[in-house]
Structure 1
Amino acid sequence: MPTLFRLLSALPLWLLHAIGAALGWVVFCLSPTYRRRFVGNAAGAGYTLADVRAAVGHAGRMVAEAPRLWSARALPPCEMRNAECVERAWAAGRGVVFLTPHIGCFELSVQATAQRWSPVHGPITILYRPARQPWLARVMATARNRPGIQAVPTTLQGVRQLIKALRRGEAVGLLPDQVPPQGLGVWSPFFGRPAYTMTLAARLAQQTGAAVVLARCERLPRGRGYTLHFEDMREQPLAPELDAAVLQINQAMEHLIRQSPGQYLWGYARYKSPRGERHTGPQHQEGGA
């Protein structure tokens, strides 16, 4: 597998995306469970399969482009839009919390951001859970700890390192639509349906006063590269109440997803129960991160 990984990393982006799109449709057609979840999640957000059919191929592109992003020394072309809001966040001097959902090329979001701002403002710290396969764990460890990126374990010690980074005026990056383990989230509406949602993103911003910046890395057609869009939440600061702040972040993720629904991972099990919990529902709320 490592040999195949290296071979794939040498292919041009347009070819990787073509292979990935085909792979995405193969999985969609062969897996009834994945297909039902994909269609159901999209329908819950008000989209038909026809509306978001492009997302089937983009899910495969995400997999196919990983070898290139993790192994290449040079990043693919990535234009940044509204980088001014990131500059304003740095100018506040309280650190930056970058948030992005499972949309487009979220791997490149942190890499491109680190390449531009880490030489001046220090590394971006991200949480990292090693893969079970030893070879993949080694590859991911190398990829995630690229220049300007500091990957920390998904443990209490890792969370402490996130807080320390923000208090040094640095940045952290999170995927707030990722289902956390039991006890590290609350039930909060996501596209109108209760979803177990991490409290970590809200707590980090509340405890440190860090600026919150939203990011969305959009794939361009025919492997021409990416566009990384930034937005801030200055017009609607996070509420001091945890549940309200978590809901605000969910709504911000919905806002990003609706800007390019054809690139969201609708097949992600967003509404599953957290590990260690048998029942779902807003009545089973747990404490924060």
Structure 2
Amino acid sequence: MPRPDPLPPALLAPRHWPTWLLLGLGWGTAQLPWPLQRALGRGLGRLLYRLARERRRIARINLELCFPELDARARAALLRQHFQSLGLGVIETAMSWWTPAQRLAGRYSVEGLEHLQAALDRGRGVILLSAHFTTLEIAGRLLALQTPFHVLYRRHKNPVFERAMRRARERHFERAIAREDMRGFLRSLKRNMPVWYAPDQDYGREKSVFTPFFGVPAATITATSRLAAASGAAVVPFFPERRADGRGYVLRLQPALADFPGASPEADAARINALIEAQVRTRPGQYLWAHRRFKTRPGGAAAVY
């Protein structure tokens, strides 16, 4: 467990009070009964759909690009479903940070833990390959109740929120590794520790290649190949889903990727995108469509947003 770190006085400045209030509301939400949490999440999603116009526009464009086979009515329904999923994801983030473990018991099932154990038996560490579903936070907390692992995360610009996020993740995952700390990532793998990693966002042109995602060229980082090659770690896909009946979650671990890294970083990136796409198609409303996944375009291609 990490050592308690004293609260810097600067974080108590009045400009941070709204963030402290939001965190307090999050803590309170995490203590509510399950049906009320679900209702709040769906209500928040409907509110976000109305108020977050720019994110709604981005999600609409992404759905148009990725599901051209759907008519306008079907895509509009999927867009609304996605925002409800976003609202649930916000509530689930609070739950993942502050809901006691005993209250989460019985709300999830895990399939494929034997694949993770088989990969760990190799003794070279495991890259838990996931993706940015709206269930990302709660899935990590639930899996951590079954097996220890470390988590890669992106630092938040708000120092109060960053502190709360880091402390919550270190409390549940033993160690939270900043996204830019690749040496820390490799150290965890050297200890034969699984590290949770989601490479499916647009991080710009540097260290990326363009490979298809739903048939659209997407800037895709090649770090998964490089980390696996440098460490010898197995890559075990890990994908969660929110159950359709609203009663909880299913966490699925798949067998470690065979022959990975492969012939080239480009081929590996295409393989990972295809794997993630297949999972997204099973629960399309639960994927994070509000992210500008196609922000970086190949040379000469027009901007999509």
Question: 1:1-289 to 2 correspondence within 5 Å?
Answer: 1=21, 2-46=23-67, 47=70, 48-51=75-78, 53-74=80-101, 76=104, 77-118=107-148, 124-155=149-180, 158-221=181-244, 224-235=247-258, 237-273=260-296, 280-281=297-298
Change over 3 Å in CA distance of 1:221–1:241 after alignment to 2? closer
C-alpha distance in 1 between matches for 2:42 and 2:224 = 32
* Kept in 2: contact 1:104–1:217 (CA 8 A): no
| Identity in percent | 31
Change over 3 Å in CA distance of 1:283–1:170 after alignment to 2? farther
Residue 235 of structure 1, CA deviation: 5.0
Structure 2, unmatched stretches of 5+, are 1-20
Change over 3 Å in CA distance of 1:38–1:236 after alignment to 2? farther
* Length-normalised TM-score, structure 2: 0.80
State the match for 2:10 in structure 1.
none
Name segments (4+ residues, structure 1) moved above 6 Å: none
Q: Deviations over 1:218-240 (max 9, x none)?
A: 12356522111111344564413
Structure 2 residue identity aligned to 1:102: H
Structure 1 residue identity aligned to 2:298: G
Structure 2 residue identity aligned to 1:281: P
* Kept in 2: contact 1:218–1:263 (CA 8 A): yes
Structure 1, unmatched stretches of 5+, are 119-123, 274-279, 285-289
C-alpha distance in 2 between matches for 1:24 and 1:147 = 26
Residue 178 of structure 1, CA deviation: 2.0
Name which one, 1 or 2, has greater alpha-carbon Rg: 2
C-alpha distance in 2 between matches for 1:5 and 1:52 = 25
C-alpha distance in 2 between matches for 1:131 and 1:18 = 28
Residue 114 of structure 1, CA deviation: 2.8
* Kept in 1: contact 2:125–2:190 (CA 8 A): yes
Change over 3 Å in CA distance of 1:125–1:137 after alignment to 2? same
C-alpha distance in 2 between matches for 1:207 and 1:89 = 16
Residue 42 of structure 1, CA deviation: 1.8
C-alpha distance in 1 between matches for 2:66 and 2:196 = 25
* Kept in 2: contact 1:202–1:245 (CA 8 A): yes
Please state whether the residue corresponding to 1:232 is helix, strand or coil.
coil
Q: Deviations over 1:169-194 (max 9, x none)?
A: 21111111122255232222211112
Q: Deviations over 1:149-182 (max 9, x none)?
A: 3112232xx1011112212221111111122255
Residue 79 of structure 1, CA deviation: 0.6
C-alpha distance in 2 between matches for 1:222 and 1:22 = 17
Structure 2 residue identity aligned to 1:134: P
C-alpha distance in 1 between matches for 2:278 and 2:55 = 24
C-alpha distance in 1 between matches for 2:202 and 2:223 = 11
Q: Deviations over 1:113-164 (max 9, x none)?
A: 333222xxxxx23223332223312210111112443112232xx1011112
C-alpha distance in 2 between matches for 1:257 and 1:125 = 24
Change over 3 Å in CA distance of 1:234–1:154 after alignment to 2? closer
* Kept in 2: contact 1:41–1:266 (CA 8 A): yes
* Kept in 1: contact 2:60–2:79 (CA 8 A): no
RMSD of aligned residue pairs (Cα, Å): 2.3
Structure 2 residue identity aligned to 1:249: I
Please state whether the residue corresponding to 1:58 is helix, strand or coil.
helix
